[in-house]
Chain A
Amino acid sequence: MGTESIIARCETLFEDIDFQVVREWKAAQQGRKVVGFMPVYVPEEIIHAAGMLPMGILGGGSDLEVIHGDAFYQSYICRIPRSTVELGITGRLDFLDGMLFPSICDVIRNLSGMWKLMQPKVYARYFDVPQNYQDDVGGVYYQEEMQELRRDLAKLAGHEISDEAILGSIGIYNRHRQLVRDLYALRSAEPWKVPSTEAYLLMRAGMLLPVEEHIEMLKGYLAAVELEDKPRRDNCRVIINGSFCEQPPLNLIKSIEMAGCYVVDDDYMLVNRWLMEEVSTEGDPIRNLADAFLHHSADSAAKYCTKKEEVGQYLLDSVKKNSAEGVIFAAPSFCDPALLERPMLADRMTQHNIPHISFKYAENSGQMQPIREQAGTFADSIKLWS
């Protein structure tokens, strides 16, 4: 299969706000269960090991007409919770057996309680992660949180989740993480070959498909890309930061590239890229997952940074690693974590003479002109004067 047909499939998945593919997966075998989760991170391995499908829920995108969702949120709250509520109320998520609300911000945290009130029959859990990275403090707490989750899921599944099963799942997710890293590396090396929208759509498919299927898809794409030739444009190289929760509309991602920027790294949907290294498949799986989280998880605004000097280090590293020429801070409107973090990151970039700009969006932003103008001027300035 060529990239085109792979991407076409991804696009269909992306646009389908009824999640047919997940419904089909569930219907294919009796007793199958699906657990939804929101940004930014949950240990999918445990869900997978329970024989369930972890499904990433990233709001309703730009095409969902939100009618009831607005009834639950004031205008100064970001959009992802309202479109998620809309999905729930309109029955588009009626196949879910459980829903996880990770620790990321007050909005999603409170949504966990709303879900409990609105959908009392569905298992809903606020999933906490430690902001203390000592093995015997935060680590112990986190392991117990995961054990609780494991017990809950076992109840939901109707059977125990064995250590072996989780270790097996970790192995599969390790392969998956490697492929995602490969995709990002390829795009960074030859961005004209992997347009932003393609990389993005591929990743989005991974939020819905079973991991095994997505592994094949990624392999297929990576193989196909090698065979194709795409023209290289005179674009500058940038990193997108701040879009780890509510997603920008596809048009925005497209607009940035159109305006002259190759995106060489991003933090869209960190979920798949949260644990940055292989997780050990030996010993106590829960402990391994905890270790990986404490010591090798990606930095983002949703995490506490223990030391002043470490704030923004990950972004600097990425700029270096990907030879980026600038950083675009693109955060959802009213996104507290991203917007509070931004001044610190911007400061850090300025200190290192890395050009940066920032703007806000919503998942349903319609007007791309200001975005193009800002990204375009940014690209102009890098191109004309460097």
Chain B
Amino acid sequence: MTISVGIDIGTGAVKTALFRSSGGNYEWLARCNDKIRQRDPLELARKGLDQVLEESGIGEEEVDYIATTGEGENVTFSTGHFYSMTTHGRGAIYLDPEARAVLDMGALHGRAIKIDGLGKVLTYRMTSQCASGSGQFLENISRYLGIPQNEIGDLSKQADNPENVSSICAVLAETDVINMVSRGITAPNILRGIHDSMAGRLAKLLRVIKAGDGVVFLSGGLALDEGLVDSLNAAMKIQKLKLVARNHPDSPYSGAIGAAIWGAFRHEKLNAMAEAS
């Protein structure tokens, strides 16, 4: 039996998951999701660890492996670090065994990851240095329109005539949006336009990794935005991708889950190697 903790330090929130595993069975015992809001992420990581320990009633000395992922390379109390695409791939398989590709839609970057049935990463692609079409951008716009984030999805689904968001630059697109409002375009149509343009880019990433067909699992902060999911499905159809996008209520935890599972895996492997020698 192995106890492992995965800590995913993202740009917006720190997610922590605690697992008990033995012989390939993974049991998710505790979790914690804390928005960063201008606090020190490293402290939040510690807080997250404490909280899952408390929730599960497990002592820190009983933990075999603490794995960080995301921006957690500098966490001092971790056993090891896995890079985020490694962990999102594994987390996706845990949450949805049918997934063969993962789309991680974070605040600044989008990542498309092609995986096999065991969560092994086959190929991947990230968006570049330019923030056009990022989650952050959507966030700014919704703030501007006075719409809370959890309502974006529903509104976007009500669109009847989505407006094209043309500019490439996120900042210039912001002005585009200002103009749309003044032209009387409704919020749903604007949001859907943005969703469509984001989805187009994300679908392109999937094309680039040759995601094939099957289920794309959505992870990361935007995974639960149903409007984006809709747009994404539409965009994939347009781009002739035979994929279905699916999310899971625990989608935001994929990275932490993956880290915990790989941590356990690594721990067992290291043990086996130690025994062998």
Contacts and interface: CB of A to CB of B under 8 A. Distances in A.
A205 B124 CA distance: 36
Interface stretch (A11-19, A164-172, A376-384): A376-384
A377 B128 contact: no
Secondary structure type dominating chain B contacts: mixed
B71 A380 contact: no
Contact of B86 (A333, A365, A380): A380
A381 B82 contact: no
Nearest to B86: A380
A365 B129 CA distance: 10
Interface string A221-265: 000000000000000000000000000000000000001000000
B40 to A, nearest CB: 17
B71 A369 contact: yes
Interface in B137-186: none
Interface string A349-376: 0000000010110000101011011101
B185 to A, nearest CB: 30
Contact of B121 (A259, A359, A377): A377
Given A259-B83, A373-B83, A381 B121 contact: yes
A384 B126 CA distance: 21
B129 A372 contact: no
Contacts, number: 48
A367 B85 contact: no
B120 A377 contact: no
A372 B85 contact: no
Interface bin, chain A:
10 to 19
Interface string A116-158: 0000000000000000000000000000000000000000000
A377 B124 contact: yes
A333 B129 CA distance: 10
B73 A372 contact: yes
Contacts of B132: none
B47 interface: no
B126 A367 contact: no
A129 B182 CA distance: 58
SS of A interface (majority): helix
Contacts of A369: 71
A333 B128 CA distance: 10
Contacts of B71: 369
B120 A374 contact: no
Nearest to B73: A372
Given A369-B71, A372-B73, A377 B262 contact: no
A370 B121 contact: no
A293 to B, nearest CB: 36
B251 interface: no
24 contacts: A259-B83, A357-B124, A359-B126, A360-B128, A369-B71, A370-B126, A370-B129, A372-B73, A372-B83, A373-B85, A374-B83, A374-B126, A376-B81, A376-B86, A377-B83, A377-B85, A377-B86, A377-B121, A379-B83, A380-B82, A380-B85, A380-B121, A381-B86, A384-B86
Interface of A: 259, 333, 357, 359-360, 365, 367, 369-370, 372-374, 376-377, 379-381, 384-385
Given A384-B262, A384-B265, 13 more contacts: A259-B83, A333-B129, A360-B128, A369-B71, A370-B126, A373-B126, A374-B83, A377-B84, A377-B86, A377-B124, A379-B83, A380-B82, A380-B121
